[in-house]
Amino acid sequence: MSAATAGDAPAVAWETVIGLEVHAELRTATKLFCGCRNSFGEEPNTNVCPVCLGLPGSLPVLNKAAVEYAMRIGSALHCGIQASIFHRKNYFYPDMPKDYQISQYDVPINVDGWLELSGGERIGIVRAHLEEDTGKTTHVGGGGRIHEAGYSLVDFNRAGVPLVEIVSAPDIRSSEQARSYVEELRAILVATGASDGKMEEGSLRVDANVSVRPAGSGGFGTRCEIKNMNSLRSLGRAIEYEAARQVAVVQGGGEVVQETRHWDEAAGRTGSMRSKEEAYDYRYFPEPDLVPVDPGEAWISAVASALPPLPASRRAAVAGASGMDASSDAVATVVRLGLDPFVEAVAGGPGSRENVAAIAVRRLANEVAAEIDSVGRLSPASFAALVRMEADGSLTAAQSRTVLKELLASGGEPKEVAGRLGFEAMAAGDLEAVVEEVIAAHPEEWARFLAGEDKLTGFFVGHIKVATEGRANLGAASALLRALRG
Amino acid sequence: MTAAGIAAAVRSGQRTARSVLEEHLGRIAAAEADVHAFNLVLHESARAAADAVDAAVAAGRDPGVLAGVPVALKDNLCTRGVPTTCSSRILDGWTPPYDATVVRRLAAEGAVVVGKTNLDEFAMGSSTENSAFGATRNPHDLGRVPGGSSGGSAAAVAAGFAALALGSDTGGSIRQPAALCGVVGAKPTYGLVSRYGLIAFASSLDQIGPFAGSVADAALLLDAISGPDPLDSTSLRDAPPPASARLGAGVDGLRVGVVAELAAAEGISADVVARTREAADALAAAGAKVDEVSVPAAVYGLSAYYLIAPAEASSNLARYDGVRYGLRERGDPGGAGDITDMYLKTRSRGFGAEVKRRIMLGTYALSAGYYDAYYGKAQRVRTLIIRDFAAAYERFDVLLAPTAPSTAFALGEKTADPITMYLNDVCTIPSNLAGHPAISVPFGCGDDGLPVGVQVLAPALGETVMFQAAAALEAAAPPAHVPVTLGGGASQ
């Protein structure tokens, strides 16, 4: 965003610079370093063992499936996948069983990739590394913060759940772009099968590094890290708030202090959690209980070649089939909602392939998207049949929309539904008769049309539409008018 | 009777495991009050285990290669349902819900666990005086230390409380007490024995290993516990080299190098230097080709060790925070924040002085801005030591060095000066840093009549040749040191 300048200060345009750190829980059957089930929403402290409780003498053993999922994510984000090692990140917290987190530090599994937003912009990916999740603390009493709490309850079911932390470059420039990035990343994570990407359940968690600078300046302002945003909406709000706060600080003659800030959803503002001086010294060092992970070329290429089509390539495919712009909202909507199989279903039938597919994309991005929860009632085959009826003139656009809504509401076959609704296509002879009637009723306009006044096409088509009560295929009607002109 | 002899007698039905156990429990009853080798003696579970072995023999089932052999476990090895303390107050009240892999392997081979032995708290020390439960005494002289940190295990074997014992060796914690107590103690190649269930001190250095009255018994125990373990990512994947394979093969033609830097290291007493020289001569007399060899980087081992081990320990011991198990002191709700106060009070009260010292050393060594100068540099020294050893093993099959700088010292003699205490490990630490095996074999006694140990060092996975040379050394050793006389008549 370009944060508005405050007060009467000289009109300096400000630019927001955002980098996002996304933690995605992996959908492995078991945890990262032990055989406990990786499962959300169970009785507290039931999926635990000596390893994920950090009991004395226990040792971690790396879950191969988690490595594979991490590689899928890296591959989907165009990262280099490399031999990596684990480090210990040391700090005390009651929900961290060992009081250190096993994470990757300077030699992560995935480095230097990029993600293409649905609008076509590329955001750099610095790294996407493996680490273990902590347990979950519930502070009881006080404001839900540890030092105000009367007591705290800790659930270790989440301790040791595998995470991939995906760190973007500071390439994001607005809250909208940040949301778009997270949406796209979520779609990629879901497509690869590596994560279910549910922000509400905490399986996808986003922290934002936000700074501001005068537009066009090359350097970076001092950044703040914003935590505790539990939805795309709060991510957008928090970034907007934080950017405006920083602009106000700078314009007020102050300096932004590097710190970690907590987003308060109810109050709609960020507040200081800890400053740089209070920042933890994590005392990273290589985890001596684990050996380096070297997946090797064969495994890396097997993972890459087994990747399913990802959102960007699916958008390109839909765009290619329909002749529409890959960065258009309609194409993005179709792919985001997973409706591209419907576009594929119309390909290969009679008629102009591109035209048919373009009609399909419009119907999917509008009528189907509006009733997405009912999409189960719509089979690709009946959708394809409907789109062909619209394309060949058997149904008008208005009729086609109506039939589609009916199919989504109650299911059925488009021919049968169209018949039930009285949407019989007009026979060519009937249309011709109506056209001749309309011409006869407007001789003056017909003479001008014959003399070359093309804009009168709309006049005649309008009258034909009225005379047929909307049952005429208007494309066919205008073609007929041109044909009669000779 | 040797452990091998016990197992053979029990397996053949010549003796019952129960009678063997009662004999050992009798010695414990007579002298444990003087020695304090154990934190816990497991009378009842040991009797049950012995009876189970006897039942297996009676039923014609294979009772295992350690059938009926009484074994003592260092109290940093997790035992299901049996308190495991690391000789620390911080683990007050904690009972492991699982067995260490080595404990399972012992049980599978019919061994009878007689008790959990005392140690320097979290294996940090060289005298077993840093125990929250009081010092262990050397069975050869109750006024002296048994060495450490596995002093309880060494003393238990020396006193005849157990035929075998397990210890852990991070910088010499098996070999040094073995030397001081006149028994055999070996640290295997890193990764040969699973660390699962060994409460960590310094993960990249810790190895579990055997104590025994003889080289053959130590080999028997090591072969029973070594081998791959899916629960320890650092355990070696291939079948281990058999320690017992060439015990009787002699050393004719074997190339033996005496490590110049260690044989003449600062602070090594003259009698120890003399025994080491005699050991080399004895092997030469038995046909070995003996020469001096230089391992230059070995002299930096001690400094590197006292950065790496505390650094890893500072992280390994972070989990003792009062939240989930063990000691918990109440935080002051009026304080700056009661969770922090709880952490501070729990750890202040739960850990002893040496543990705190090393946590502080290690925390400092890993701090931002110091990491490269301390931890990073120490790791590079480690690489140099491995390189120098590799050069030595191009010319020699095994190396020879003293184990400890002196015979057992008096209780309290070195507690005031940590550096003097740390120097006890100068000859043992290089093997831990390199990940190589080493074994201490009793070889005569010092001017004070107390046992001296000599080390045989071998390259990674060189256990077979190491035990081969150790057996030859044992055979050539001068007649025993002061015999252990305990129970009733023991005096200081």
Query: How distant, in Å, are the alpha carbons of B122, B126, B413 from that of B421?
Result: 16, 7, 9
Res A63 pLDDT > 90: yes
Which domains can be identified in chain B, with CATH numbers?
A: 3-250+443-448+472-486 (3.90.1300.10)
- Predicted confidence band at A454 (pLDDT cuts at 50, 70, 90)? confident
Residue A322 CA to residue A362 CA, distance in Å, equals 10
CB spacing of A92 vs B318 below 8 angstroms:
yes
Question: Can you say whether the dihedral through the CA atoms of A39, A40, A42, A47 is positive or negative?
Answer: positive
Residues of B in contact with A284 (CB under 8 A): 366, 371
**What was the pLDDT predicted at A398?**
84
CB spacing of A59 vs B195 below 8 angstroms:
yes
* Nearest in space to A295 (alpha carbons), one of A77, A85, A33: A85
**What was the pLDDT predicted at B119?**
98
Best residue of A58, A102, A154 to probe chain B, by most B CBs closer than 10 Å: A58
Residue A266, by phi and psi: left (phi above 0), alpha (psi -120 to 50) or beta? alpha
User: What does the angle CA A384 – CA A388 – CA A392 come to, to the nearest 5 degrees?
Assistant: 180
Residues of B in contact with A147 (CB under 8 A): 337, 339
Tokens of A148: 């105000």
- CATH class, range A428-485: mainly alpha
Average pLDDT over residues B423-427: 92
Cα atoms found within 13 Å of the Cα of residue A204, Cβ hemisphere only: 21
Tokens of A41: 């929403």
- Identify whether B345 is a catalytic site residue: no
Give me the residues of A, 118-177, that contact B with CB < 8 A.
146-147, 152, 154
Residues of B in contact with A32 (CB under 8 A): none
Average pLDDT, chain B: 95
Residues of B in contact with A88 (CB under 8 A): 315
* pLDDT tens column, B44-63: 999 999 999 999 999 999 99
Residue A22 CA to residue A9 CA, distance in Å, equals 36
Task: Specify whether the CB–CB gap between B312 and B400 falls below 8 A.
Answer: no
For helices A353-363 and A380-391, angle between their N-to-C axes, nearest 10 degrees: 120
**What was the pLDDT predicted at B14?**
97
Res A39 pLDDT > 60: yes
Pairing assessment for the beta strands A269-275 and A259-264 based on DSSP bridges = antiparallel
Locate all alpha helices (DSSP H) within A306-395, ordered by sequence: 311-322, 329-336, 340-346, 353-363, 369-370, 380-391
**What was the pLDDT predicted at A142?**
64
Res B440 pLDDT > 60: yes
Locate all alpha helices (DSSP H) within B96-162, ordered by sequence: 101-108, 151-158
CB spacing of B339 vs A289 below 8 angstroms:
no
Kindly report which listed range (A234-243, A360-369, B395-404) carries the lowest average pLDDT score: A360-369
Reduced to 3 states, what is the DSSP secondary structure of residue A390?
A: helix
Q: Which of A57, A99, A152 has the CB atom closest to B197's CB atom?
A: A57
- Identify whether B367 is a catalytic site residue: no
Residue A224 CA to residue A72 CA, distance in Å, equals 31
Residues present in chain A in total:
486
- Residue at token pair 């800030």: A261
Average pLDDT over residues A21-44: 96
Nearest residue of chain B to residue A148 (CA atoms): B337
Residue A153 CA to residue B14 CA, distance in Å, equals 58
- Identify whether B173 is a catalytic site residue: yes
Question: Can you say whether the dihedral through the CA atoms of A471, A476, A480, A481 is positive or negative?
Answer: positive
Residue B193, φ and ψ in degrees, nearest 5:
-115, 130
Nearest residue of chain B to residue A147 (CA atoms): B337
Tokens of A116: 């293409």
Cβ atoms < 10 Å from Cβ of B12:
10
**What was the pLDDT predicted at B488?**
47
- Predicted confidence band at A311 (pLDDT cuts at 50, 70, 90)? very high
* pLDDT tens column, B469-483: 999 999 999 876 566
A272 Cβ partners below 8 Å, 6+ apart? A259, A260, A261, A262
**What was the pLDDT predicted at A427?**
67
CB spacing of A288 vs B371 below 8 angstroms:
no
Residues of A in contact with B96 (CB under 8 A): 50, 55-57
Res A310 pLDDT > 80: yes
Best residue of A88, A99, A278 to probe chain B, by most B CBs closer than 10 Å: A99
CB spacing of A281 vs B367 below 8 angstroms:
yes
Reduced to 3 states, what is the DSSP secondary structure of residue B417?
A: coil
Nearest residue of chain B to residue A155 (CA atoms): B324
Kindly report which listed range (A22-31, A61-70, A390-399, B138-147) carries the lowest average pLDDT score: A390-399
Reduced to 3 states, what is the DSSP secondary structure of residue B173?
A: coil
Residue of A144 and B256 predicted with greater confidence: B256
* DSSP 8-state secondary structure symbol assigned to residue B373: I
Res A391 pLDDT > 70: yes
Q: Which of B88, B126, B149, B314 is catalytic?
A: B149
Average pLDDT over residues B398-404: 98
Average pLDDT over residues A88-110: 96
Distance from the Cα of residue B396 to its chain's centroid: 26
For helices B353-365 and B301-316, angle between their N-to-C axes, nearest 10 degrees: 100
Cβ atoms < 10 Å from Cβ of A218:
5
Residue B102 CA to residue B71 CA, distance in Å, equals 12
Average pLDDT, chain A: 90
Residue B486 CA to residue B491 CA, distance in Å, equals 8
Task: Specify whether the CB–CB gap between A86 and A66 falls below 8 A.
Answer: no
Res A299 pLDDT > 80: yes
- Predicted confidence band at A3 (pLDDT cuts at 50, 70, 90)? very low
* pLDDT tens column, A117-126: 988 899 999 9
Res A1 pLDDT > 70: no
- Predicted confidence band at B335 (pLDDT cuts at 50, 70, 90)? low
Question: Can you say whether the dihedral through the CA atoms of B160, B164, B167, B173 is positive or negative?
Answer: positive
Task: Specify whether the CB–CB gap between A399 and A418 falls below 8 A.
Answer: yes
- Rounded to a whole number, what is the distance in Å from the CA of A82 to chain B's nearest CA? 20
Residues of B in contact with A60 (CB under 8 A): 233
User: Residue ranges per domain, chain A?
Assistant: 2-305, 311-420, 428-485
Res B8 pLDDT > 70: yes
Residue of B191 and A435 predicted with greater confidence: B191
